[in-house]
Amino acid sequence: MAKYSKLIFVCTGNTCRSPMAEAIYKNMERVSEMKVISRGLVVLFSEPMNPKALIVLNKHDLKTTSHVSKGLKPSDIDSDTLILTMTEKQKNKVLNEYPGAAGVYTIKDFAGESGDVVDPYGGSLIDYEECYSELARLVKKTVIKLNEENQEA
């Protein structure tokens, strides 16, 4: 029995980092039954994915469905939901504002690293590419850790 049935990648606006992490994860991990989504903490209205994030994903042959930003809601979170945020500040916000959330980590904490994933918003295409590379490394570590935990369960 898997420890988590759902994984939510969380960033600020759900237009750059979390949808990139979701796309990377879904491309890397195709065996698991876990539902994988992304959400934002400050989503005032629905927006498409950032064009630079899309360019970077396409460059790496990662297709996304027509992504539209969505805010994190309490109904997204179950007792067996893993939430991976991009920053410590976002992790604390989730823990403070969503009392049902139990498995909340920064993606770097979960992957055995420290620090935050820097938001490339407003940066150059190179900034988005660097963010992608960092997320790809962290998501790979996440997939490996989840697979190990599921084998132990």
Is 17 designated active site?
yes
HSE-CB of 74 using CA atoms within 13 angstroms: 5
Cβ-based neighbours of 129, under 8 Å, separated by 6 or more: 56, 59
Mean pLDDT of 34-60: 95
Say whether 113 sits in a helix, a strand or coil.
coil
Is 76 designated active site?
no
Q: Is residue 1 part of a domain?
A: no
Residue recorded with tokens 């920053």: 87
Q: What is the CATH number of the domain that holds 51?
A: 3.40.50.2300
Q: Which DSSP state fits 99?
A: T
What is the pLDDT confidence band of residue 63, given thresholds at 50, 70 and 90? confident
Q: Is residue 59 part of a domain?
A: yes
What is the pLDDT confidence band of residue 29, given thresholds at 50, 70 and 90? confident
- Provide the number of structural domains found in the chain: 1
Pick the catalytic residue: 78, 80, 109, 119? Answer: 119
Pick the catalytic residue: 11, 16, 76, 131? Answer: 11
Q: Is residue 128 part of a domain?
A: yes
Say whether 43 sits in a helix, a strand or coil.
coil
Pick the catalytic residue: 16, 17, 39, 76? Answer: 17
What predicted TM-score, i.e. pTM, was given to this entire model?
Answer: 0.95
**Per-residue model confidence as pLDDT tens digits over 74-97:** 999 998 999 999 999 999 999 999
- What are the start-end ranges of the H helices in 68-120? 88-97, 107-110
Q: Is residue 50 part of a domain?
A: yes
Beta bridge mates, 103: 82
Domain that holds residue 36: 6-152
